Amino acid sequence: MQTEADYYALFEAYQRGELAAGERASLEARLSAEPRLRQLYAEFQDVAGTLHAYAERRRTRHKIGALHEAMLAAEATPLVETAPALTHSVNPMLRISRTERRLREFWSGHRATVGVAASVAVLAVFCTLLGLDLWRSAQTGHSMAGYTMLRRELDKIKQNQRVLSAKLDGSTAVPVNPGKFGGTGFALTADGYLVTSAHVIKGADSLLIESRNHQRYHAETVYSDVKHDLAILRIKDAKFAGFGKLPYTFKGGQADLGERVYTLGYPREDVVYGEGALSARSGFGGDTAFYQVSIPVNPGNSGGPLLDGQGNLIGVLSGRQDDVQSAAFATKSSYLVRLVDSLKNKQTTQPYHMPHANQLAGAARSQQVKRLQDFVFVVKVYEQD
Amino acid sequence: MNMDSTTALAADAQLIKAIHGGDERALSQLYRLHWPMVSHFVLQNSGSEDDARDVYQEGVMVFYEKVREGSLELSCQIKTYLYAVCRRLWLKRLTTKSRLHGVRLLDEEEYGPYLNTGAEDDLQEAEERDRRFATMSEALTHLGEPCRSLLEGFYLLDKSMLDLTAEHGYTNADTAKTQKYKCLTRLKKLFFASYKEA
């Protein structure tokens, strides 16, 4: 009985054609007759064939590897002879330096990451800019570009005046804290409530109300509505005995376009009268809480009352537009009335007695002003230094 | 078909004939000719110089083996065929190593018709063969000494039986031969066992 190995020896000899004619014939006969032997031969062929092919593959791989090395070497020492006469188009070899190649590899490997990083950076920059802008506009309220709030810095004027007075009488003026900002305010009720603009009292540490005859009262802020630029103050002096009966009333509805309007205010140390017409029923940037009026106003006019010909209070002066000739803005009195109504519900400590009777209607303008000026005050604002 | 591609095909046919006949210079020429294309392609598609080299060598191997067997059925230029093979190979590597799911390759316009070159089938065949060789190599390592060195010496390193007899200290060539056949039967068992199981 022959072993498998013996058969393998036989098969190999057969494959190489080393068998004698008789032996070969007998093997071929057996192969066609015996399925088991045929299978054995197939297996032998498979294994030996794979081994040969594997050897061939290793040689090929080695050969091709060598080709690459040879090619690189040929590249390093540039050949003068041009490529053998080949008729088809030859791709030009890309000549790139080592650094450039590295850069290219880096770029092709990381371009997605770089792209994402760049977009994040751009996004961050824009978010920051936008956020800063929003923050700043939130800080400044509605003093937008081209809009000036009319509160007055008092230091400058006071100092100028002091210099002036020093020249006149040669004596040194008594240094008094002149207050930092000033505006105008007017009586809301007879018993000590006043109205002014919210921006006038912004950042106030203490408030001083000064009447035309230099009567001074300390006041406190009751409520400040920055959005509509309104503030309600109350006099807190114990000796304060009331303003007396208010001659004007507050108009709850809207005033008409073209109505003659006037104001009293303190853009300087003395009370100043200004008049004009109601020129639009919306304010800066189309803000419907404001009127536009054609009254020449100056810093210090803020918080001043705006009255129509019949002596109805229709607004509170707030600001002006710089690049437009005499365009001043005033908060509509309807917002003031609404604010007072809402405060009535919330604060019951001291009730609001709004005036009901108008004593100015029908009087001449100069008479109206004479009555009115006792109820318009300078609001001086002190900030903590 | 225009003049250009006709002459190109004629040149290709000449080259294939030379390689089939065992002309090393022809193979070297072919290798140098198409390297820039493949290296450019791989570098373009987030590969390195070494990646390009591996892919290209693999691709040339597929081509070379087909040519040597005489079973290459080329329906396009060699350039296009190689591009198709290498493209396929690189795509495969990219998908296995890339974390991104969809890999999209930047292709050169001029190799447009790479999808119907028959390269796909050839590549599959080559991969099947690769798997076979890998199994064989593994079977050889599991065979143990002295069988492994005996068979490797004979089949892979082309040593003569006489050399191997001396090397392994057999008394004569016949003993070595008998030993070789025994080893071969063992290798057969190992090889079939793991190849079929895989």
Would you say residue A142 has pLDDT above 70? no
Residue A12 φ then ψ, to 5°: -65, -40
- Other Cβ atoms within 10 Å of B60 Cβ, number: 24
Residue indicated by tokens 């594997």: A54
**Mean pLDDT (chain A, rounded):** 81
User: Contact A44/B192, CB-based, under 8 Å?
Assistant: no
3-state secondary structure of A152: strand
- Whole-number pLDDT of residue A167: 52
Which range among A217-221, A257-261, A333-337, B120-124 shows the weakest confidence by mean pLDDT? B120-124
Q: Exposed, middle or buried: residue A51 (CB in 10 Å: 0-12, 13-18, 19+)? A: buried
Per-residue pLDDT of chain B (198 residues; tens, 9 = 90+): 455 667 777 788 888 888 888 788 888 888 888 888 888 888 888 888 888 888 899 888 888 888 888 777 777 778 888 888 888 888 888 887 766 555 566 666 555 555 566 777 788 888 888 888 888 888 888 888 788 888 888 887 877 777 878 777 778 878 878 888 888 888 888 888 877 765
Residues 6+ apart with CB under 8 A from A363: A311, A371
Of A12, A54, A74, which is closest to B136 when you measure between CB atoms?
A: A54
Nearest residue of A to residue B35 by CA position?
A: A93
3-state secondary structure of A229: coil
User: Contact B7/A88, CB-based, under 8 Å?
Assistant: yes
Nearest residue of B to residue A12 by CA position?
A: B181
C-alpha to C-alpha distance for B162 and A165, rounded to whole angstroms? 131
Question: Which tokens go with B195?
Answer: 């190849």
User: Contact A51/B8, CB-based, under 8 Å?
Assistant: no
User: Contact B61/A64, CB-based, under 8 Å?
Assistant: yes
Q: Which of A376, A336, A337 is nearest to A247 (CA)?
A: A376
User: Contact B178/A9, CB-based, under 8 Å?
Assistant: yes
Interface residue ranges in chain A relative to chain B, Cβ cutoff 8 Å? 4-6, 8-9, 12, 43-44, 46-48, 50-55, 57-58, 60-61, 63-65, 67-68, 70-71, 74, 83-84, 86-94, 101, 104-105, 108-109
C-alpha to C-alpha distance for A49 and A60, rounded to whole angstroms? 16
Alpha carbon of B145: minimum distance to chain A alpha carbons (Å): 17
- Whole-number pLDDT of residue B126: 82
Contact A241, A371 (CB under 8 A): no
Residues of chain A with Cβ-Cβ distance to B182 below 8 Å are 5
Mutation to test the B interface, candidates A14, A16, A47, most B Cβ within 10 Å: A47
Query: What's the pLDDT band for A120 if we cut at 50, 70, 90?
Result: very high
- Whole-number pLDDT of residue A100: 84
- Whole-number pLDDT of residue A177: 54
Question: Which tokens go with A347?
Answer: 């604060």
Query: What's the pLDDT band for A161 if we cut at 50, 70, 90?
Result: low
Residues of chain A with Cβ-Cβ distance to B22 below 8 Å are none
Residues 6+ apart with CB under 8 A from B2: none
- Whole-number pLDDT of residue A263: 92
C-alpha to C-alpha distance for A332 and A318, rounded to whole angstroms? 10
Q: What is the mean pLDDT of residues A154-165?
A: 55
- Whole-number pLDDT of residue B113: 57
Q: Give the rounded percent of residues in chain A with a pLDDT score beyond 70.
A: 84
Alpha carbon of A119: minimum distance to chain B alpha carbons (Å): 20
C-alpha to C-alpha distance for A202 and A204, rounded to whole angstroms? 5
Run of H or E residues at A233: strand A230-235
- Other Cβ atoms within 10 Å of A294 Cβ, number: 17
- Other Cβ atoms within 10 Å of B127 Cβ, number: 14
Alpha carbon of A127: minimum distance to chain B alpha carbons (Å): 29
The fold for domain A153-382 equals Thrombin, subunit H (2.40.10)
> Mind listing the pLDDT tens digit for each residue in A340-382?
888 888 766 677 778 888 888 888 888 888 888 889 999 988 8
Domain ranges for chain A: 4-76, 153-382
- Whole-number pLDDT of residue A175: 44
Q: How many residue contacts between A and B have a Cβ separation below 8 Å?
A: 121
* CA dist B88 → A155, A368, B51, B54, B132 (Å): 83, 97, 13, 13, 20
Query: What's the pLDDT band for A170 if we cut at 50, 70, 90?
Result: very low
Q: What is the DSSP letter of A104?
A: H
- Whole-number pLDDT of residue A117: 94
C-alpha to C-alpha distance for A173 and B119, rounded to whole angstroms? 104
Of A47, A48, A94, which is closest to B36 when you measure between CB atoms?
A: A94
Residues of chain B with Cβ-Cβ distance to A58 below 8 Å are 156
* CA dist A17 → A11, A374, B187 (Å): 10, 137, 24
C-alpha to C-alpha distance for B59 and B72, rounded to whole angstroms? 14
- Whole-number pLDDT of residue A95: 67
Query: What's the pLDDT band for A37 if we cut at 50, 70, 90?
Result: confident
- Whole-number pLDDT of residue A277: 92
User: Contact B184/A58, CB-based, under 8 Å?
Assistant: no
Mutation to test the A interface, candidates B49, B66, B154, B156, most A Cβ within 10 Å: B156
> Mind listing the pLDDT tens digit for each residue in B31-76?
888 888 888 888 888 888 888 888 899 888 888 888 888 777 777 7
Q: Return the higher-pLDDT residue of B104 and A41.
A: A41
Q: Give the rounded percent of residues in chain A with a pLDDT score beyond 90.
A: 15
Query: What's the pLDDT band for A81 if we cut at 50, 70, 90?
Result: very low
Contact A196, A184 (CB under 8 A): yes
Query: What's the pLDDT band for A173 if we cut at 50, 70, 90?
Result: very low
Contact A206, A181 (CB under 8 A): no
User: Contact A105/B43, CB-based, under 8 Å?
Assistant: yes
- Whole-number pLDDT of residue A314: 92
Which range among A10-19, A76-85, A255-264 shows the weakest confidence by mean pLDDT? A76-85
User: Contact B155/A51, CB-based, under 8 Å?
Assistant: yes
Contact B165, B173 (CB under 8 A): yes
User: Where does residue A146 fall: left (phi above 0), alpha (psi -120 to 50 degrees), or beta otherwise?
Assistant: left
Q: Return the higher-pLDDT residue of B97 and A111.
A: A111
Q: What is the mean pLDDT of residues A70-84?
A: 64
Predicted-complex ipTM score: 0.79
Question: Which tokens go with A26?
Answer: 């007998």
Nearest residue of B to residue A102 by CA position?
A: B48
> Mind listing the pLDDT tens digit for each residue in A199-225?
888 888 888 898 888 888 899 888 888
- Whole-number pLDDT of residue A195: 92
